[in-house]
Amino acid sequence: MTAFRHALERVRRDDDGQLLLLVLVYALIAAALVTVVVDVSKAYLHRRSLVAAVDGAALAAANQPDLDAVYSGSGRRVLPLSEDGARDAVEQYVADARLAARFDDFSIVDVSTDGETVTVSFASTVRMPFVNLVVSRSGYHLDATARARSPLTQ
């Protein structure tokens, strides 16, 4: 029985420091999870804000009728939209909402209309708090596009 106790005591002495190693490994795993969650959350919230901004700009652009087509009586069932008016409305919306100050590297990619539907595209860069410390990128490029139809019919 004493040989068994001696063997048990030797095993106990050899376990010194194992708990510290386990705690360090769990701390590294927790830090990695926090890093991923924070970076993914920032990218998601940035994209959601960019989509909301492009939606607002598309709605503003959809309220810009092509007055020449309206007064010429083209016979369309939907109020025709003006390309120049849509572009001006988007630029005014961007200025009023100060989107260039809210988003890094913000740009208006496209404003186009087929006469009934306006399409607006924005681009921006999101800078990640932790990933940018490891990777020497200036951020990740995000795009958002929205379409809106004229709310008025003839």
d(CA 57, CA 102): 15
DSSP string computed for 49-76: HHHHHHHHHHHHHTT-B-HHHHHHT---
Structure tokens at 108: 């208006």
In this predicted model, what pLDDT tens digit does every residue of 47-90 receive, in sequence order?
A: 999 999 999 999 999 888 777 766 776 666 667 888 888 999 99
pLDDT score recorded for residue 59: 92
**pLDDT score for 94:** 95
pLDDT higher than threshold 70 for residue 109:
yes
The per-residue pLDDT for 54 is 97
Report pLDDT digits (tens) over 20-32: 888 999 999 999 8
For range 36-51, the mean pLDDT:
92
User: What is the per-residue pLDDT across 8-23, written as a single tens digit (0 to 9) for each?
Assistant: 666 566 666 678 888 9
| Token pair recorded at residue 139 | 């951020």
pLDDT greater than 70 at residue 7: no
pLDDT tens track for 114-143: 888 899 999 999 988 777 666 666 788 999
- Look up residue 138 and give its DSSP letter: S
